[in-house]
Structure 1
Amino acid sequence: MTEQPHSNRLIHETSPYLRQHAHNPVDWYPWGEEALDRARREGKPILLSIGYSACHWCHVMAHESFEDEATAQVMNELFVNIKVDREERPDLDKIYQTAFQMLHRRAGGWPLTMFLTHDDHVPFVGGTYFPKTPRYGMPAFTDILRRVSTHYRQHQPELRQQNQALLDALRAEIAAPAAADAAVLNDAPLRAARDALIHSFDPMHGGFGGAPKFPHPTSLEHLLRCWAASVQGVEPDRPAETAVLSTLRKMALGGIYDHLGGGFYRYSVDAEWQIPHFEKMLYDNGPLLALYAQAWQATQDPLFRTAAEETGAWLLREMQDPAGGYYATLDADSEGEEGKFYLWTPDQVRELLSTEEYVAFAVCHGLEQPPNFENHAWHPRRIAEPSELASRLAVAPEQVDEWLAAARRKLLEARSQRIWPGRDEKILTAWNGLTIRGMAIAGRHLGRAEFVASAERALDFIRARLWRDGRLLAAHKDGQARLNAYLDDYAFLIDGILELLQCRWRDGDLDFALALAEVLLDQFQDREAGGFFFTATDHETLIQRPKPAHDDALPAGNGIAAQVLLKLGHLTGRADYLEAAERTLRWAWPVLEQIPNACNALLAALEDFLEPAQTIVLRGQPEALAEWWERCARPYAPRRLTLAIPATATVPTGLLVERRAGAAPVTAYVCTGLECRSPITTLDALERELAQ
């Protein structure tokens, strides 16, 4: 084993990303008082570098600059250097990405490289990836370091003035306009978001806008809900139907989907969904799993079912820790090359398959086409339907399906023998919440009990390892749970629990969701302006306390918080939950009016506020409950919450206590918001109620 010539303070961290830099010659610190105190004492500006373990360009900058002795010497001489894993510290990432956007009038990215003042940690300049030598129209990183240091020493008064303006802008971003409380909430943002998404839809290739293309599951879910609701009305919304279903089909057929192992890559570098950026993120696959399962239930398109089942199987096989939690990411790189693990040549494939299997796979997945990746390599995507090949070869479609299944099985087995991309095995509470939700929805719609059991194991892991003294922790790795949880951790986990409860009742799960909701209200709520801060009241003081309204790679925590509080409020009769959700929508109203299509999580909450969702509580004997549950919970009904609770179950205090089992085998309590019908005791009567 090669001896590492250096070790810095990151050697003591649990984050795989930080430990990747533990042997750099850079004198890295984790974010914390030791580094911040040194900067104050020495008057040196801070170089803040934020990235994550699956980030390709983070690796490039590390190999070029952070592993280079000469570059490290300049960094160590001129700066206090702090390395942050954005997945562990999304609070810091949100603040400094927002600051970057304000300073540069464009979105940032990773690696994020920001230079901060030594005493108050306000950024005065920054960038993303910087090359070691001059290229891409950028100067060498060491030249930038020297210029920044010189400018910092010589222009303190101007920088302080700029910093004050930036701080004012950061504070204004989260402030609520005075008129927000008086706003009349209506459905105009819902319609405007739908129109904006249709306008940006790419009718040829699916998705929104041009390259690079991201999946945007919250946008697609909004359009799916729009279309599903319109089907119940006079005129189905064909543009919404086309946009969402075409995009889902193009993605499932394209190279952004892993046709051997299941699961989706981060994004497509081209507009046609053909060549991905190869990292696989838990936070993409949980929501996409839910979306494809919902789309299958709404359309019965077998392609959607296949994508959902294979993605769920991938999560079970490769991303779930034996103890129950889900891992964070799979890297884009293996053996130092992006995508190498996933690429093939025709000769490699031909050696592993029979002649018939090779022909089927080559035609269906593009090996007959010119290479679509560098170094004459092929990344499989689906360019022909099996039915087309069956006609061409004059064989039954079932025979082609058998050849393709055998080919994929053999190729997946051979691929598993390659050198794997790195896997970040930290377990993040928020991302697990998204995936618990996805596995529960897929398990319910597809009838896959193993998906539900997987979600249950993940929830049990979080409750056992990351719930301490009535508070959540954000991350678990190597037996250690650490970092105070954020808004997303609480909101996403409650959402996952509510979806899991719709699959089966288990005593204690709703109590856990209610305990999480209490912390949400007590520690995160902005009692003056409405909405929820990203960090708790006892969190470390930073230059901003974010209040996210816009969705980014993840749905906005405020949107999910409002959604779950509305559901819990209607389920339990708790007025404070309903009031907190309404105040969140009022705080966010100016943003919803200006850019609604960037706030789809909040839009779903707005929809549930304007037209309260249907809540169905079924009480009775387990054997009799199954048929009633099948009728209520299995269909795609995004604005319905169904709980099938055995007569002997223990329920929390509140409205649920009043919804008891009666003399009939099953009693159904059907409510819209807080308005409830008389108890229903026959399945025919329930059918009539659901048909209204």
Structure 2
Amino acid sequence: MSEIDHSAADRSQQPRNRLAETTSPYLQQHAENPVDWWPWCEEALALARSEQKPILLSIGYSACHWCHVMAHESFEDETTAKLMNRLFVNIKVDREERPDLDKIYQTAHQLLAQRTGGWPLTVFLTPDDLAPFFAGTYFPKTQRHGLPSFQELLIGVERAYREKPEAIREQNASLREALSQLDPAPGVMISDLTPLDQARRQLAGSFDKVNGGFGRAPKFPHPTNLELLLRHHAATAAAGSPDQQAREMALFTLERMVRGGMNDQLAGGFCRYSVDDQWMIPHFEKMLYDNGPLLTLCCDAWQLSGDQVSRDGVSCDQISRDQVFRDAALGTADWVIAEMQSEEGGYFSALDADSEGEEGRFYVWDLAEIGARLNADELALIRPLFGLDRAPNFEGRWHLHGYRRLEEVAAERGQQDLEVAKGLLTSAKAKLLAARAERVRPGRDEKVLTAWNALMIKGMLRAGRLLGREDYLDSADRALAFIKATLWRDGRLLAVYKDGRAHLNAYLDDYAFLLDALLERLQTRFQPADLDWAQALAEVLLSQFQDEANGGFYFTAADHEALLLRPKPMADESTPSGNGIAALSLQRLGHLLGEPRYLDATARTLGAAADAIRRLPYAHGTLLMALDEQLSPPEIIVIRGGLLGTEPEAGFGSKGVGYDEIDRWQQLAQRDYAPRRLTLAIPAEFSELPPALAAMHPSERVRAYRCRGTQCDAPIDALDQFEVALISSSTPV
């Protein structure tokens, strides 16, 4: 087994500050700094107030390359540390554990600096009100690129704090006023799909027709935008006029990402983003929150492109695309289970971009090393496939990027049997993966975050269901069981688990994403306990997070500590909008259970976000999906198992008598890409159900109930009739 790189913090040293007592790997990386770091806590804030010292707040995360650079240049430097300790109370925050603080001070940075922020975020706060009076991101040790040295900055900021208190008070008052305007009164309700069409046009306007993606480098995956386009295509296809451009923008972009260097061509899993416009060279960190939604998206793309193959005949390109999405889903899920799932069941957060002090070192290659590992046939295949016959693409070395399709390379080499080429590629990848395993691995952030786990649980469930992989379903179930046993206490969620300790009250994303994952679980392996848990999460969303006055959901609970701002984020960011997922999931649960409070919460959220959606539709893709289902309610299909021939002792999904039949009905309902359809298969012995579901009685044999909104059809008792009904459901009601 290869060594794991812990070079960011030399563990042989004794801790020099309080960060050693925390659970965050990022904070622990700074435990040996000569800086007198505090975690964010009342004791540190009280110290700043009593000494009337400004607070230097530094926010980052463990896989952040530039966070490591600034730490090495400045926070490990004795002279800089002495200056920091003399002039400031220094607080270090892990943005992944405290996304509330990150959202607040990133927003403040944007208002102060008039540009977007990033990490590391460097903010200076007045001690009495915790308002930022100066903010930036990375600062170098010495002047360069128009930036002052960090030491110069420290001296200048502290001087301004002492000499210009009135100006700072006025600026802080203006900032607080600007922050208060970020939560406006509800706008006029949106009554049609105009914003969705506008979002589609905005995306089309920035679409890169050559490389896929939107805009220029750096390029981020933005799976929510791609999901929105696929859903839009499905809706227009159901209406009889399919938007093929929307479909092609999404599938072409995803295909280029999958074939490119942002996707680990050996082990699977996606890196954070591409630094170029070709998806070739990534920023090498691997984040769980990217890979969960991308796993879901690859499954959806495989299902959609597979539908096209089965209906329209076959072509080489189409089959290739169909296979590439399936392979990407398999690779991502396999990588997560192998490298990112703990023995306890939870999923870890991230892999670092760096190893041995260099970004990407673990992933890039010399030709001599590759040549020494592969035989002649393997090398001849992968040279053109991954660009090894071209100039180096990463600092004199090669990062594997899919320049060519396997079918093209095989044809050029005269290999008529594609299976031979696939075999060579498989053996070459296995040998290179074995060679890579001998290297020093990037550090792994082993904290378990509820929200990010929920994103991966949904992706793993989708992959297991569509690809027929029981091991993926089992992986998701282990993670769900871990969250329920460890992070669900007294009817509330906790946000973080590490080293046997669960702590920090959960945020909006934790509840919303987990509710969404449970809805996916109910469509995979129905269990009443999961439905009960989903309802419990929904009730906490309403009681603790909902803005009763203006609609929408705050990011923090009502009993959270008082901070400078109580954010209510509406736009999608690197993760989907918590408000969007809450609105979409509550609406679906409301239709499923006939619960008007959930439907009303969604309507009020869309009202609160209406003006923001109109201003910038494409930035609110998740809310647009909720709007789409508000205007055209989702199709709910409930399949009840037959009373004859079932085995109450058999777990659902086992192939006992009677279960094969209910499985066939469920698989038929879930065969095609139908994003506005929820399908629950409930065995007959599950009788303790909420009233809306209990009213859907089982019959002697399998029976299906189909509803859309408040309109339900007569029960269907024959499989062939059910198939006809599914075809007709593609026509809007």
When normalised by structure 2's length, the TM-score is 0.92
Task: State the Cα distance separating 1:679 from its structure 2 match.
Answer: 1.4
CA RMSD of aligned residues (A): 1.2
Match of 1:91 in 2: 100
Choose the corresponding residue for 2:160, options 130, 151, 163: 151
1:628 and 2:669 are equivalent in the alignment: no
Superposition map of 1:185-584 within 5 A: 185-300=191-306, 301-374=322-395, 376-395=396-415, 396-584=417-605
Task: State the Cα distance separating 1:502 from its structure 2 match.
Answer: 0.9
Local SS of the residue matching 2:68: helix
| Structure 2 CA distance for partners of 1:415 and 1:577, relative to 1, 3 Å | same
1:626-682 alpha-carbon deviations (Å, 9 max, x no partner)? 11001112321100000001001254322011112112x111110101221111111
1:679 and 2:700 are equivalent in the alignment: no
| Structure 2 CA distance for partners of 1:3 and 1:458, relative to 1, 3 Å | closer
Distance 1:653 1:504 in 2: 17
Local SS of the residue matching 1:220: helix
Match of 1:20 in 2: 29
Match of 1:662 in 2: 699
Equivalent residues of 1:58, 1:110 under 8 A apart: yes
Equivalent residues of 2:212, 2:252 under 8 A apart: yes
Distance 2:359 2:621 in 1: 32
Task: State the Cα distance separating 1:546 from its structure 2 match.
Answer: 0.4
Task: State the Cα distance separating 1:5 from its structure 2 match.
Answer: 5.5
Equivalent residues of 1:342, 1:379 under 8 A apart: yes
Supply the AA of the counterpart residue of 1:270. Answer: D
Structure 1 unaligned segments of length 5 or more: list them: none
1:392-451 alpha-carbon deviations (Å, 9 max, x no partner)? 222232211111100001111111121100000000000011111111112222222211
Distance 1:496 1:588 in 2: 23
Equivalent residues of 1:487, 1:524 under 8 A apart: yes
When normalised by structure 1's length, the TM-score is 0.98
Distance 2:531 2:504 in 1: 25
Equivalent residues of 1:51, 1:86 under 8 A apart: yes
Supply the AA of the counterpart residue of 1:56. Answer: H
Equivalent residues of 1:502, 1:633 under 8 A apart: no
Distance 1:515 1:554 in 2: 23
Supply the AA of the counterpart residue of 1:498. Answer: L
Local SS of the residue matching 1:508: helix
Supply the AA of the counterpart residue of 2:709. Answer: G
1:291-342 alpha-carbon deviations (Å, 9 max, x no partner)? 0100000002111111111111111111111111110000000011000000
Supply the AA of the counterpart residue of 1:437. Answer: K
Distance 1:636 1:183 in 2: 30
Equivalent residues of 1:185, 1:589 under 8 A apart: no
Supply the AA of the counterpart residue of 2:345. Answer: G
Local SS of the residue matching 2:715: coil
Distance 1:224 1:243 in 2: 9
Task: State the Cα distance separating 1:187 from its structure 2 match.
Answer: 1.0
Distance 2:325 2:593 in 1: 35
Distance 2:249 2:596 in 1: 38
1:517-571 alpha-carbon deviations (Å, 9 max, x no partner)? 1111110010110010000000000010000101110111000000010111001
Structure 2 unaligned segments of length 5 or more: list them: 1-9, 307-321, 643-658, 729-733
Supply the AA of the counterpart residue of 1:382. Answer: G
Task: State the Cα distance separating 1:505 from its structure 2 match.
Answer: 1.2
Distance 2:444 2:179 in 1: 35
Match of 2:49 in 1: 40
Distance 2:15 2:719 in 1: 71
Distance 1:213 1:651 in 2: 49
1:150-203 alpha-carbon deviations (Å, 9 max, x no partner)? 0011111111111111111111102324xx2x5343211111111101111111
Task: State the Cα distance separating 1:363 from its structure 2 match.
Answer: 1.8
Distance 2:687 2:250 in 1: 41
Local SS of the residue matching 1:517: helix
Supply the AA of the counterpart residue of 1:143. Answer: E
| Structure 2 CA distance for partners of 1:369 and 1:91, relative to 1, 3 Å | same
Supply the AA of the counterpart residue of 1:662. Answer: S
Local SS of the residue matching 1:679: coil
Equivalent residues of 1:452, 1:500 under 8 A apart: no
Distance 2:471 2:672 in 1: 19
1:212-266 alpha-carbon deviations (Å, 9 max, x no partner)? 0000000010011111222233332122122111101111111111000001100
Equivalent residues of 1:511, 1:652 under 8 A apart: no
Equivalent residues of 1:282, 1:435 under 8 A apart: yes
Distance 1:185 1:172 in 2: 25
Choose the corresponding residue for 2:65, options 42, 56, 76: 56
1:10-50 alpha-carbon deviations (Å, 9 max, x no partner)? 01000000000011000000001011001000111000000
Equivalent residues of 1:6, 1:25 under 8 A apart: no
Match of 2:607 in 1: 586
Distance 1:175 1:469 in 2: 34
What is the count of residue pairs matched by the alignment? 687
Task: State the Cα distance separating 1:616 from its structure 2 match.
Answer: 0.5
1:75 and 2:68 are equivalent in the alignment: no
Choose the corresponding residue for 1:116, options 125, 147, 151: 125
Supply the AA of the counterpart residue of 2:129. Answer: D
Equivalent residues of 2:528, 2:689 under 8 A apart: no
Equivalent residues of 1:524, 1:536 under 8 A apart: yes
Equivalent residues of 1:283, 1:554 under 8 A apart: yes
Distance 1:366 1:432 in 2: 35
Distance 1:483 1:314 in 2: 28
Distance 1:601 1:122 in 2: 31
